[in-house]
């Protein structure tokens, strides 16, 4: 068994946006990360899932998922734990939907909790109450900020993160340097980025892995 992070998302009001949901497989295929064990994939019509190596080492993938699905709204659950498989004589899973273990059970538990509230859009379940309290507080604050992002702000943040400089991001978007800077500032991108980077460090400080 190995430690993994499972990201499971539920599309809110998916039946009212069937045309947009139909485009998701192509949009999800644009999400890449070195830590992904399985790509993000759609199942059951309105559920999305992927599995990452390690313990919450790439929290930015939650944001990447939301951006790929925009303007659809998502409930995103994060489960930390073990993946049962890939042992001697075991058949390797092709997709995340064929995998199981504590990380998957915790992600499912977190999704179920999210469906009972309207205020929270992201939840983490790790089996450690200390980590859950801290991480969920940070994730809730990130949600509160990102919930107000416009499409232009999402684009600016994504381009800036990808390109590394405001000037390069401006070239990608075909706008001025000042416009990218203004959009990222309005999105409070520096605060979101710092919050995301703090999560793996918090896991390590608590001694989760």
For range 75-91, the mean pLDDT = 74
For range 145-157, the mean pLDDT = 97
How confident is the model at residue 18, as a pLDDT?
87
Answer yes or no: is pLDDT of 143 > 90: yes
How confident is the model at residue 86, as a pLDDT?
55
Q: Which of 82, 127, 124 is nearest to 107 (CA)?
A: 124
Give the integer Cα–Cα distance in Å for 81 and 2.
Answer: 8
Q: Which residues contact 164 (CB under 8 A, 6 or more apart)?
A: none
Domains of the chain: 2-146 (3.30.70.270)
For range 40-68, the mean pLDDT = 93
Q: Which residues contact 206 (CB under 8 A, 6 or more apart)?
A: 128, 130, 131, 134
């Amino acid at each position: 068994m190995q430690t993994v992070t499972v990201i499971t998302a539920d599309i809110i009001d998916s039946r009212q946006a069937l045309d947009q949901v139909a485009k998701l497989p192509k949009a999800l295929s644009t999400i890449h990360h070195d830590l992904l064990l399985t790509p993000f994939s759609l199942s059951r019509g309105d559920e999305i899932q992927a599995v990452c190596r390690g313990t919450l080492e790439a929290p930015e993938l939650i944001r990447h998922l939301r951006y790929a699905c925009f303007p659809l709204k998502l409930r995103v659950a994060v489960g930390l734990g073990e993946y049962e498989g890939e042992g001697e004589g075991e058949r390797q899973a092709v997709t995340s939907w064929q995998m199981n273990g504590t990380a998957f059970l915790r992600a499912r538990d977190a999704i179920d909790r999210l469906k009972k509230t309207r205020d929270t859009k992201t939840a983490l379940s790790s089996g450690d109450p200390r980590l859950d309290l801290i991480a969920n507080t940070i994730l809730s604050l990130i949600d509160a900020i990102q919930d107000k992002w416009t499409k232009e702000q999402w684009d600016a943040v994504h381009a800036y993160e990808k390109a590394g400089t405001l000037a390069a991001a401006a070239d990608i978007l075909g706008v001025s340097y000042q416009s990218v800077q203004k959009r990222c500032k309005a999105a409070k991108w520096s605060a979101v980025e710092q919050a995301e980077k703090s999560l793996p460090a918090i896991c390590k400080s608590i001694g989760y892995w």
